[in-house]
Amino acid sequence: MKKQNFKIYALTALLIGFYSCNSNDEVVTDSAAGASQFKVINVTHHDGHPFSTGNSTNSPTGKYVANPGGGVMMQAFYWDVPSGGTWWNTVGTKVTEWSNAGIGSIWLPPASKAQNGAFSMGYDPTDYFDFGDYNQNGSIETRFGSKTELVSLITKAHTENMQVYADIVINHNSGGQLENNPFTGTQTYTNFTGVASGKFPRTSADFYKNSFGNNDEGAFGGFPDLCHAAPNVQNWLWLRTDGVGKYYKNTMKFDGWRFDYVKGFGSWVVRDWNTNVGGFSVGELWDSNVNTLNDWANNANSSVFDFACYYKMNDAFDGNNLALLNDDMMWKRNPYKAVTFVTNHDTDEIWKKELAYAYILTHEGYPTIFYRDYEEWLNKTKMNNLIWIHNNKATGTTSILYADNDEYVARRNGYNGNPGLVVYINNSSVWQERWIQTNWANAQIKDFTGASTWLPTTQADKWVKIQCPPNGYSVWSINM
């Protein structure tokens, strides 16, 4: 998806379709003196195995798991990163630090030559096999650098036990030459037979409108709309051993894919790509409707960005209504296929980002960190602490213990010997305290963020009193 200039709160149509999941409400009474009664809200249970990052380890090959179920992804770019062919090298200087922090994968921008050459962010692709080594579209290098520099970056990331995901734009192309188009009766910019790499030549027969029909699920920005029903397109994108997908995976050594604008083509395209090419995949389906996200993820056999969670966090944290976090989200519906995020290159609307990161890094799903949040805008020490908590404590299913306008408390129930955690988020301007029920009896716990110095011991019935700083969060687990 390209840079958006509108505000989230203006997208009223996208805010329609949230669904509530409140099927497991129950009243829990604390038997200890002085403990108040409250409702356990929206206790969520998921089929299948719960997430686990395993036990804490410091081995260089086992600090994290770079897939849904553990680990953290870094979006390693932002819109209009510096031009001049330096970005691959810039990212290369970061990967060791990111790896040491527990980040398990990096998502790179579209790496191939696009219509605007050295000035393009890559979302207007011309030649999928020109990684900055052919003189076309006004430059040899891409905005991000040369093929040699890209290969070096990927190699270094793998050395640091990190996966690398390619941003793949296959809805549309740009930069083709004019040709007489028999399907439109006009001239169109759909002749890509002269691309410098000589690979994936295509003509008007490979774009809508063509012999397969007038259109597919959606076009974008007036660009020629690639027809995935065309055999030539299928062959070059995912079937051929020297095609785009397999070349990126087997020669360039990408480990997975972020599919751009998947609203523009059928979910079967991603499913077929995944079947024939393999690797992790996540789709950009810009929609707040959980049913839409979940249906697409299942049909595509792919993860999907959790826009439902994104919009709910925006309303909850910036709108001072944390009870909205009880509502349905993709990570609740299908956690193994939910990629959560706070900011990306297209949209940056959540103001209380620290609270939002505390949320996604303690809950189920595959959390993504935005480059500028981590490197420029937020407290890196706090971010690293949350990454450590995610990789070492955030295991098991999730139970939401309490939520109102200002306070939110949730419990990760632990898995395979890992005790899990309790996260307490406070959106008010004063310290808050609350009795909650843990999974631990007669155990000393502590706040692993260091915000609270309390070292309480849970009662025999597993209840304990915890606290949370103003406009902040605390994360509690067994003191071990």
**pLDDT at res. 228:** 98
Helices 267-276 & 290-300, crossing angle to 10 degrees? Answer: 40
**pLDDT at res. 70:** 62
Q: In this structure, which long-range contacts are made by residues 227-232, counting pairs with CB atoms below 8 Å and at least 24 apart in sequence?
A: 228/170, 228/265, 228/266, 228/269, 230/205, 230/206, 232/202, 232/205, 232/206
Query: pLDDT for 422-431, tens place per residue?
Result: 999 999 999 9
CA separation (Å) from 30 to 326, 459, 478? 22, 10, 20
Q: What confidence tier does 5 reach under pLDDT thresholds 50, 70, 90? A: very low
User: Contact 111/133 with Cβ under 8 angstroms?
Assistant: no
Q: Kindly tell me if the per-residue pLDDT of 66 is higher than 80.
A: no
Mean pLDDT of 200-214: 98
Q: What confidence tier does 185 reach under pLDDT thresholds 50, 70, 90? A: very high
Average pLDDT of the chain? 88
Say how far apart CA 29 and CA 395 lie, in whole Å: 26
Query: pLDDT for 279-320, tens place per residue?
Result: 999 999 999 999 999 999 999 999 999 999 999 999 999 999
Burial of 211 (0-12, 13-18, 19+ CB in 10 A): exposed
Domains of the chain: 62-305 (3.20.20.80)
Range from 26-40, 328-342, 346-360 carrying the lowest mean pLDDT: 26-40
